[in-house]
């Protein structure tokens, strides 16, 4: 498989570096959710707007925001 973002050889949809960025992104989201009422999609948009966000994380956020999986995640959260 190839990384969806950079095309590097990968074991899943993202390479090692982008997978790390995705993990960071999801961990931060847990923190944000505790602090405010925010859904996954809104969170990803905020991350993209934030000048402090690293490039790798932004690339991942953009892909997740565009993928149907990102939308599924937010609708599952609403059910709980
Ligand atoms: Zn990559």
pLDDT digits (tens, 9 = 90+) for 10-58: 999 999 999 999 999 999 999 999 999 999 999 999 999 999 999 999 9
The predicted model scores a pTM of: 0.81
The alpha carbon of 80 and the centre of ligand 1 are apart by a number of angstroms equal to 32
Q: What pLDDT score does 65 carry?
A: 94
Helix (H) or strand (E) run with residue 40 in it: helix 40-49
The span from the CA of 47 to the CA of 16, in Å, is: 20
pLDDT of residue 50: 96
Integer-rounded Cα Rg, in Å, for the chain is 13
Around ion ligand 1, residues with a beta carbon closer than 5 Å are 3, 5-6, 8, 15, 18
Closest C-alpha to 63, from 2, 12, 3: 3
């Amino acid at each position: 498989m190839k990384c969806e973002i950079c095309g590097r050889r990968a074991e899943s949809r993202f390479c090692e570096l982008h997978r790390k960025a995705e993990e960071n992104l999801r961990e931060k989201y847990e923190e944000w959710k505790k602090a405010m009422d925010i859904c996954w999609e809104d969170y990803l948009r905020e991350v993209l707007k934030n000048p402090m966000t690293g490039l790798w994380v932004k690339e991942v956020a953009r892909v997740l925001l565009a993928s149907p999986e990102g939308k599924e995640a937010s609708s599952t959260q609403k059910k709980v």
